[in-house]
């Protein structure tokens, strides 16, 4: 099946940049996502990138996609204590039933800790 | 716009008991998903509905799990009987359609503990 890998932990100092990395195996994925999960809360979509793009910037967030290496990264500039959370990389994969329907396959998440 | 609602937020049951979770998606969203998130892992899709029909339930353990979305709006997920390994957070999500790229909006989840 499809596989999405992430490192489990990242610790940065407040004000520094954070870079969270993700690798995946399904080269047919056309949308790749970053979700944020705070304690006791559901998942919040942060940003996504279409597979024909190399980079997408959205305020403090920069997503880089290397399709050749199947590598996705999320950079958070000027990281704040409020950014402490678990960040999930997710790719869209076609469901087993096909029929043009797609599901998200998630990595295990990277826990970002921001040190004041 | 109201988000995805789920209840209860927490549930503790003993193994072999039954439990049901409820989800109310965002108004107008045709597609509804149930995910299981075991501690330390990412969410795993259990079942996907388009209106009141099942699109994909290939990862649903059908011997003990069932789900329905009778009127194409609210949905319930049931576990009967529960096992210890069912302890997890059950997330409901919805999107306007199941088409490629449609954003999924997640509810806060129901944390199930099976003792």
A110 touches chain B (CB under 8 A): no
Residues in chain A with CB shorter than 8 Å from the CB of B58 are: 95-97
Which segments of A14-110 does DSSP mark as H helices, in order? none
pLDDT at B75: 97
Whether A88 has a pLDDT exceeding 80, the answer reads: yes
CB A36 within 8 A of CB A85: yes
Residue of A nearest to B42 (CA): A108
Residues of A numbered 52-71 whose beta carbons fall under 8 angstroms of chain B's beta carbons: which are they?
none
Question: Nearest residue of A to residue B104 by CA position?
Answer: A45
Q: What's the mean pLDDT in B62-66?
A: 96
φ, ψ of residue B19 to 5 degrees: the values are -150, 150
State mean pLDDT over B54-70.
93
pLDDT greater than 90 at residue A41: no
**Mean pLDDT across chain B:** 92
Contact B35, B108 (CB under 8 A): no
Share above pLDDT 90 across residues of chain B, in percent, rounded to a whole number: 77
pLDDT at B59 over 80: yes
Q: pLDDT band for position A2 (50/70/90)?
A: low
DSSP state of B3: -
Task: Give the position of tokens 């597609």.
Answer: B31
**Listed residue (B114, B113, B115, B105) closest to B35, CA to CA:** B105
| pLDDT, mean of residues A72-101 | 86
Quick: pLDDT tens for A45-83: 999 999 899 999 999 999 999 999 999 999 999 999 999
CB contact under 8 A, B40 and A108: yes
Backbone angles phi, psi at A18, to 5 degrees: -110, 140
Which residue in B10, B37, B42, B57 has the most chain A C-beta atoms within 10 A of its own C-beta, making it the best mutation to test that interface?
Answer: B42
CA dist B80 and A84 (Å) reads 37
Cα A41 to chain center, whole Å? 17
Disruptive mutation site among B7, B56, B57 for chain A (greatest number of A CBs within 10 Å): B56
Residue B1 has pLDDT above 80, yes or no: no
């Amino acid at each position: 099946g499809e596989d999405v890998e992430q490192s489990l932990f990242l610790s940065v100092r407040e004000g520094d940049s954070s870079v969270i990395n993700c690798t995946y195996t399904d080269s047919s994925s056309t949308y790749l996502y970053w979700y944020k999960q705070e304690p006791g809360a559901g998942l919040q979509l942060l940003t996504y990138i279409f597979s024909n793009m190399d980079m997408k910037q959205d305020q403090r967030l920069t997503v880089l996609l290397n399709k050749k290496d199947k590598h996705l990264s999320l950079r958070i500039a000027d990281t704040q204590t409020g950014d402490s959370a678990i960040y999930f990389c997710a790719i869209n994969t076609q469901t087993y039933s096909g029929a043009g329907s797609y599901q998200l396959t998630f990595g295990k998440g990277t826990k970002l800790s921001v040190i004041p | 716009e109201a988000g995805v609602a789920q209840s209860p937020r927490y549930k503790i049951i003993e193994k072999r008991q039954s439990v049901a979770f409820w989800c109310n998606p965002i108004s107008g969203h045709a597609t509804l998903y149930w995910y299981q998130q075991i501690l330390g892992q990412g969410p795993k899709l259990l079942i996907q509905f388009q209106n009141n029909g099942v699109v994909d339930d290939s990862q649903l353990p059908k011997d003990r799990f069932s789900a329905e979305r009778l009127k194409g709006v609210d949905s319930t997920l049931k576990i009967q009987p529960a096992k210890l390994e069912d302890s997890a957070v059950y997330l409901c999500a919805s999107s306007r359609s199941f088409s490629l790229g449609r954003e999924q909006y997640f509810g806060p989840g129901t944390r199930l503990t099976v003792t």
